[in-house]
Amino acid sequence: MKTWIRRTLLATAGAAVLAAGLAGCGSPQRHGGWDDARLSEMRGKAVERIGDRMSLDATQRARLEALADQLQQQHRTLRGADADPRAPLKAMVAGEKFDRAKARALLDEKTQAVQSQGPKVLEAFGDFYDSLTPTQQAQLREWLDRRGHGGWWRRG
C-alpha cells in the first residue's frame, strides 16, 4: 500500500477514535451523567428489551449478558479513571496552541484500550450470535439494517 494512503487511513481512523471517545464521554452529562449504576441500569433494560423482542432462551440471554458485560468493561476502559471525562480535552486547549502531544497520547491510550478489550467483545458477540437460531439471526440483521432509522429503539 502506498505510504500516503496508509498515512491518510491511519490519520482518519485516529481522528475518528479520538472524536468518538470525546463525544461519547461528553454527551451523557446532559442527562445527569453515566456513572456505573446508571450504566448497569441501562444495560439491564437493553438486555431485557432485546431478550423479549428476540424471544431468547436462558442460554442465549446468558450470552447476551456476557456481551453486555464486555461492552460495559470496554466502556470503563475507554473512559479511564478521570472523574471529568472532558478534562483531557480541556488540558489540550488550555494554552495558546493545541497540545498535539497530549492529543496523541490520548489517542494512543484510547487505541490501546480498544485493542485490549476489542477481542473480548468480538468473542462475546460471536458466542451470542452463534447461539441464535437462523430466524433470530435474520431478526438481528434486520435490526442492524434499520438501526440508523430508529431500529428497535424507535418510539411508537
pLDDT one-digit tens code per residue, 106-140: 899 889 888 888 899 999 999 999 999 999 999 99
The residue extents of the domains of the chain are 15-23+34-131
What is the average per-residue pLDDT within 73-79?
Answer: 83
Rounded to whole angstroms, the Cα distance separating 136 from 129 reads 9
pLDDT at 97: 92
C-alpha cell at 19: 472524536
For residues 82-106, average pLDDT = 87
Helix, strand, coil distribution of the chain in percent, nearest 5: 80, 0, 20
pTM value surpassing 0.85: no
Find out whether 78 and 116 touch, Cβ atoms under 8 Å: no
Supply 50's cell numbers: 432485546
